[in-house]
Amino acid sequence: MGIIFGTVSAYNVVNPVTRAHFGGSLAPIPGTDFSVYIAVSAFALNLVVAAVLTVVLRALKVRTGEDLTRPTDYAADETDPKVVQIEKTQHYTQPGGPSPVA
């Protein structure tokens, strides 16, 4: 929701010199004359949507699901056997090298 709001808000900012859209990064908060960085408004909207949906879905008793994250998912060293296996099979290139996709 926030990305749509942010994109539309940015599009509606018109450069006063060139009359081109996407002319700035500040826009008024809807319903006010107070201008803020558009990403802040979009983030705030995302927080509101997440809070409202959390309350609604909990009221409807929707299952939360199971977190399948393991402690080992949070860290990987270059010597980790899983990382070594991925590097052997994925054929990554060095920065600036040829594209791995032909």
Residue ranges of domains in the chain = 2-59
pLDDT tens over the chain, length 102 residues: 999 999 999 999 999 899 999 999 999 988 899 999 999 999 999 999 999 999 999 999 999 888 888 887 777 777 778 777 777 777 666 666 666 665
Query: What's the pTM?
Result: 0.63
DSSP state string for 17-58: TT--SS--SEEEPTTSS-EEEHHHHHHHHHHHHHHHHHHHHH
Residues 6+ apart with CB under 8 A from 96: none
- Smallest CA-to-CA distance from 23 within 38, 4, 34, 33 is with 38
What is the pLDDT at residue 91?
A: 65
What is the pLDDT at residue 81?
A: 80
